[in-house]
Amino acid sequence: MARYQQGDFAAATVLINCMSPRLQRFFLAKSMSRSEADDLLQETWLQIHRVRHTYRSGEPALPWFYAIARHVRIDHYRKSIRASAGERELEELSKTAWAAPHRTGELEELLAPLSEGQREVIAMLKVEGMSLEEVARATSCSVGSVKQKVHRAYKKLRETIGPLGEKKWRGGELA
């Protein structure tokens, strides 16, 4: 590790060949899929490369490697929790938002404050039932861009509709 720290990239190859199987088992032990464990292993090696200067020469390298791998795994877990919580929130919002309109034309009135792009992606996702990938292809946008439009549209709808689904606006204007 000290040689790698000093810029000997042949030493890095030896470290990677020696440590990768151990780190792979570390990730697989937490019942992750093989592809997820591979992704975390790659992220761990990127992190090790970024912070190799923090290794204290003469100390055991194994605990240092595992500490970094543990932090990578924890960060991955936290990101996945945030992502799933956000997806559940969006799903709940979409259920309540589409349950609100009762009369013909009320849907158009409800969506009126949204931009044309936001109305388009909401209609494709919720009215047509298309997937994010299908909407992205149809609008020549990335999936991330579609998600951003949907998020902003939901946010605007939350501002327009009260907490119990009651309108805070009349005739296209906020009351």
Last residue of a domain, one of 81, 111, 132: 81
Residue 18: count of CB within 10 angstroms of its CB: 11
Q: Which residues contact 100 (CB under 8 A, 6 or more apart)?
A: 106, 110, 161, 165
65 and 115 housed in the same domain? no
In a domain, 54, yes or no: yes
Q: Does the pLDDT value for residue 136 go beyond 70?
A: yes
Residue 22: give its domain's CATH number: 1.10.1740.10
109 and 40 housed in the same domain? no
In a domain, 93, yes or no: no
In a domain, 43, yes or no: yes
109 and 169 housed in the same domain? yes
Q: How confident is the model at residue 48 (pLDDT cuts 50, 70, 90)?
A: very high
Q: What is the CA radius of gyration of the chain?
A: 24
75 and 108 housed in the same domain? no
Summarize the confidence of residues 5-26 as an average pLDDT.
90
Summarize the confidence of residues 121-136 as an average pLDDT.
83
Structure tokens at 140: 């020549």
Report the alpha-carbon distance of residue 15 to residue 158 in Å, rounded: 52
| Domain containing residue 141 | 100-174
51 and 117 housed in the same domain? no
In a domain, 22, yes or no: yes
120 and 77 housed in the same domain? no
Counting the structural domains of the chain, the total is 2
Q: What is the pTM of this model?
A: 0.48
Model pLDDT, residue 104 = 43
